[in-house]
Structure 1
Amino acid sequence: MTRIPHETSGEPNPLRELTLDRLRCRTSTKWRTYPDDVLPLWVAEMDVPLAGPVRRAVTDALELGDTGYPAGTAYAEALAAFADKRWGWSGLAVERTSIVPDVMLGVVEMIRLVTGAGDAVVVNPPVYPPFFQFVGHMDRQVVRAPLGPDGRLDLGVLEDAFRRAVSGGRRAAYLLCSPQNPTGAVHTADELTEVAALADRHGVRVVADEIHAPLVVGDVAFVPYLSVPGGENGLSVMSASKAWNLAGLKAGLAVAGPASAADLARMPEEVGHGPSHLGVIAHTAALRDGTAWLDALLAGLRDNRRLLADLLARHLPTVGYRPGQATYLAWLDCRALGLGDDPAEVFLRRGRVALNSGLPFGTGGAGHVRLNLATSPEIVEEAVRRMAAAVGGPA
């Protein structure tokens, strides 16, 4: 599989288009959870306007009164074309897809297809907190395979977790976060091929959450799990949600490898009633016509990563930061600041900046915070200034 370079975009940087006053008019959770004196850099919402093709597609649907139930395969066709052009992957077969309400609910349904009550699900902490919550609510057992010190998969630890997960003859699944949230690591083809071999050796079914796949920055290549040797038995969930800021327009796609088609075919028919028709329209337009906007966003995120590194070096030099290869989330090691296990609480109380606490991310999260970089450079600068002031550093 050959990586296809991103095209040069003539679009303006969407991270620079909205003022703080304009953003505070929003009524979503990012802007309504905290008082107005708090800078919110926590939940995964971006401070951007809608991409033009998405806005036009949704507006046209509203003008038509096209607000019924979703139908057809346009979303899957758009994703297949995007995957072919963007990642050089032509193996996404439309007939092996199913629309789902969103990525996490799609993950839940696919774990139900390949495991039963009491079975184990392997995860790699620190990882997206809902992995723990949803798996627990499904009456499955979480088996932890912590990431290595470099924030990447530790294959030896993963194999040991697979052994524990299937002990006693249990079925097991591996919930793979790819790219990884919160570290931003993009798993390589070699890593994923070894994952597939380990999963086959131990009889573990892989379910990949690939929601951040379009948000890979620079020369790093995103590798779909289903594209690697041995990945044919896997399942994946994808969406345009994170890359185009469409969390409020619900829609995701479950994708099966060739050897998992029969599993996906057992997905209950009513699951496909859950996505929003407007969501399907929006996600389809994003994938089909929104790549120039996406490239402008990725350029802005690249600049924000550099800005954050420079600001931390100047104002909070003991904070550890390894810029991620993907996502718009920065994972910051604040243990040297002496703020205890939950530095996010201190930054909020003293600095009036809201970050995600590392604690809910599981093993390896204590003393860390997650910062959302998908905002204007001015807001990033103000956030770091407040963080430094909160710990008595240079402002």
Structure 2
Amino acid sequence: MTDGNGEVRADPIDVLRRRTSEKWALHGDDVLPMFVAETDFPLAPPIRRALERALADGDTGYVAVGDDRAASAISRFARDRWGWEPDPEHMLTTTDVGIVIVEALRALVEPGDGVIIMPPVYPPFPDFVREAGGVPVSVPLVDDGTAWSIDLDGVETALAAGARAVLLCSPHNPLGLVHPRGVLEALADLAGRHGAFVVSDEIHAPLAHAGVGFTPFLSVSEAAREHGVAALSGSKAFNLAGLKCACITTASERTRALVARRPTEELVARAGLFGVIATQAGFDESRDWLDASLATVEANVALLERLLAERLPDVTMRRPHASYLAWLDFRRAGWGDDPADAALRQARVALANGPAFGAEGRGFARLNLACAPDVLAAAVDRLARVRPASPTR
């Protein structure tokens, strides 16, 4: 499972192709799938053992109201890794982060209210806003040519014009951007001054890279606690998306009361019991495995940088600081607005389509680095053979 370098080894390709999840079922066996955010790593041993015990016991029923195993494990992890200990009494277990976002927005805004999103961003964000009855308001991230950042002036303008909430991606998908504490403090202050709310999707938070300090939004200030709701989950860190477990997290009596207006018993009942069991085993017992998996990802980041320089010099990447996703810039390479289309048709490599992340994603594609290094090298080799329709030189 781990090698001599303290890294997690991905499963062999023949084993991976037996999986029936989206990553491996959507395309044929001639495609290298590197699009959706699933990992190629085997389950952490403590998670596997916990699930095997549950199967042996026939423990396959509903999640009990008041079951705080997932919330308590996340709280302990947050205390030890981020210096912030959310109160499990302020955490409600439910299905997944998408449901957390939708239900939090339903609790916090009225139908027709504007909700700020910050493209390029996780493609379902506008759909989550609409499902909750809101209207997406785009305030793109600022790109200064070397780094991305939140456009605080743009956020303030949108809030002054009537937007009632901000949907924050922290760390930011697809960029691997970890927002600095000062920026989060400023965002919380803006929400407080305009009587708005911030819903912070922190699904990638456990995947901050070595030496990078993640700051939970609800930890930064009293304004953040009074105006914020966070979505926390182990689904990306431990590859548990199909088991269905996440937590709606609040840090003030005010936001807790607002969330409590939603059908909380039904929200709990819709969570997966296996998700609860796996989440506890992940955050409490699988931290060494998580660190080893991140070491693998970070080694792959360095490998990808080298491979791009050697094989695809017109394709660039800014080093991500969290998660296992690489945001690739194909604009100089002349691959058009949607490089993932050419990658799939000509190279049989499935990347995530850049324009799906917003207009700011034109000319980009997202690549999943949570794989074996030889698979990553094979993917770059295939991509290097693509002949774009409109080369720049």
The TM-score, its normalising length taken from structure 2, stands at 0.93
8 Å CA contact retained: 2:101, 2:128: no
Matched, 1:201 2:198: no
- Structure-1 separation of matches of 2:387 and 2:41: 30
* 1:60 aligned counterpart, secondary structure: helix
In structure 2, the partner of 1:295 is 291
Instruction: Give the 5 Å matches for 1:242-321.
Output: 242-258=236-252, 259-268=254-263, 269-321=265-317
Please, which runs of 5 or more residues in structure 2 have no aligned partner? none
8 Å CA contact retained: 1:13, 1:300: yes
8 Å CA contact retained: 1:121, 1:165: no
In structure 2, the partner of 1:174 is 166
- Structure-2 separation of matches of 1:164 and 1:371: 36
> How large is the Cα RMSD of the aligned pairs?
1.5
Where does structure 1 differ by over 6 angstroms across 4 or more consecutive aligned residues?
Answer: none
What whole-Å deviation, never above 9, does each CA across 1:269-292 have from its counterpart, x for those lacking one? 211111011111111110110101
State the Cα distance separating 1:11 from its structure 2 match: 9.0
Instruction: Give the 5 Å matches for 1:26-45.
Output: 26-45=19-38
- Structure-2 separation of matches of 1:165 and 1:214: 33
Greater alpha carbon shift after TM alignment, 17-26 vs 173-182 = 17-26
Instruction: Give the 5 Å matches for 1:1-395.
Output: 12-14=6-8, 16-71=9-64, 72-90=67-85, 92-149=86-143, 150-166=147-163, 172-229=164-221, 230-233=223-226, 234-258=228-252, 259-268=254-263, 269-391=265-387
* 1:241 aligned counterpart, secondary structure: coil
What whole-Å deviation, never above 9, does each CA across 1:220-256 have from its counterpart, x for those lacking one? 1000000001211210110000000001111001100
AA in 1 matched with 2:139: A
Q: How many equivalent residue pairs?
A: 378
8 Å CA contact retained: 1:121, 1:135: yes
- Structure-1 separation of matches of 2:330 and 2:276: 40
8 Å CA contact retained: 2:34, 2:368: yes
Distance 1:184 1:93, change over 3 A: same
What whole-Å deviation, never above 9, does each CA across 1:301-322 have from its counterpart, x for those lacking one? 1101000111111111111200
8 Å CA contact retained: 1:146, 1:363: no
- Structure-2 separation of matches of 1:365 and 1:329: 14
Taking only the aligned residue pairs, the percentage that are identical comes to 46
State the Cα distance separating 1:86 from its structure 2 match: 0.8
State the Cα distance separating 1:83 from its structure 2 match: 0.5
- Structure-2 separation of matches of 1:46 and 1:12: 17
- Structure-2 separation of matches of 1:131 and 1:308: 28
What whole-Å deviation, never above 9, does each CA across 1:129-170 have from its counterpart, x for those lacking one? 01012222333110011001122212112212222343xxxx
The TM-score, its normalising length taken from structure 1, stands at 0.93
In structure 2, the partner of 1:5 is none
Please, which runs of 5 or more residues in structure 1 have no aligned partner? 1-8, 167-171
- Structure-1 separation of matches of 2:160 and 2:309: 42
- Structure-2 separation of matches of 1:137 and 1:84: 33
